[in-house]
Amino acid sequence: MRNQTRNVTEFILLGFAGTKRVELVLFTLFFISYVFALVGNFIIIALVWCERTLHSPMYMFIANLSFLETLYTTAVIPKMLVNFMSQRKSIAFHSCILQVYIYFSAGSSEFFLLAVMSFDRYLAICNPLRYTAIMTLRLCLLLIAASWMWGFFAVLPPTILVSQLPFCGPNSINHFFCDVDPILKLASSDVRKIEMINFVNSALLLLGSLLLTSVSYISIIGTVLRIPSAKGRQKAFSTCASHLIVVTLFYGSSIFIYVQPQKNHSLDLNKVASILNTVITPLLNPFIYSLRNKKVKEALRHLTRRKIFPLINC
Ligand SMILES: *[C@@H]1O[C@H](CO)[C@@H](O)[C@H](O)[C@H]1NC(C)=O
């Protein structure tokens, strides 16, 4: 029955309706930021792998964050760039489902990991004497494994449900990648149950990790305020502020898109918010979380001096 009723073999990704010129400008912007994000994230992963000084829980979390970011941007951006440049902006049905799966599972793992990282910083800053006793290598591995498992298992059932829906009618997706809501709009059967599952999934994950992240940052700010020297306070604040900007952007845009039961704002607004998630935060994260960090800068200098940077020898 299901196989008979699905006669859509590909979707058309409408992208950003605009003239050729607009598309060329967007192509250039997105291409450049994608390359920068890739390079930034690769540098971080390479540094954490190669440098002994960075073999600690915080940097393992950061390297995993970079890896997840590379994964989900790569699921979305290259295809979007190709479509900017081609007449037929199509994507095969199965690639579309795969894109949904990778985007949402890597994204979910990333939110889980952001909460873990804020908890790690909370321990290190507010509870420094007990930090090494609590955040052991074992706990670190466990938390990382949990974040990967959460993302890749929780997203599987709804993705399978979506892949089995009947699609018979129009196949144009008003988006630049296969986001789940525009796809559900095209299904020719009742999708309220799947929408409900997705809503509960995203709400639990996003609001849960947002809660943990906010509590951690609020405690951190409380501790920072008690630092006696003005200079130390200022430095701690500038780090905190940049983290908060990224976290706010990421949570803000994702909650805006995915945590709304009625789905009543327009898909065009969702598209703009998705740009924040897929283009802007992956670009900012490496610079804000690590490349400004003193220890990371030293490791970078060290590696470039030894000239073994092309990974091979480390
Ligand atoms: C993610 O964390 C695990 C466990 O700490 C580590 O072995 C792995 O290398 C990390 N992944 C990346 C890409 O660094």
The predicted-structure confidence for 141-168, as pLDDT tens digits, reads as follows: 999 999 999 989 989 999 999 999 998 8
Is 50 exceeded by the pLDDT of residue 92? yes
Is 90 exceeded by the pLDDT of residue 14? no
Phi, psi of 308 (to 5 degrees): -105, 25
Centroid of ligand 1 to alpha carbon of 228 (angstroms): 36
Which residues are within 8 A (CB) of 125 and not within 5 positions of it... i.e. 6 or more apart?
220, 223, 224
Centroid of ligand 1 to alpha carbon of 202 (angstroms): 25
- For 139, the token pair is 């706990």
Alpha helices in the chain (DSSP H): 2-5, 20-50, 57-85, 93-126, 128-134, 137-154, 156-163, 180-186, 192-225, 230-258, 267-275, 281-285, 294-306
Query: Mean pLDDT over residues 212-218, rounded?
Result: 91
* pTM of model > 0.75: yes
Domain ranges of the chain: 10-313
pLDDT of residue 257: 84
Is 60 exceeded by the pLDDT of residue 70? yes
Q: Residues near ligand 1 with C-beta < 6 Å?
A: 45, 48, 60, 63-64, 67, 140-141, 144
Phi, psi of 8 (to 5 degrees): -90, 120
Contact status, residue 99 vs residue 76, Cβ threshold 8 Å: yes
Of 144, 149, 152, the residue with max ligand 1 atoms within 8 A of its CB, to mutate for a pocket test, comes to 144
Question: Residue 313: pLDDT band by 50, 70, 90 thresholds?
Answer: very low
Out of 3.40.50.9100, 3.40.50.1010, 1.20.1070.10, 3.30.460.10, the CATH code matching 10-313 is 1.20.1070.10
Query: Mean pLDDT over residues 186-190, rounded?
Result: 88
**CA pair distance 235, 242, nearest whole angstrom:** 11
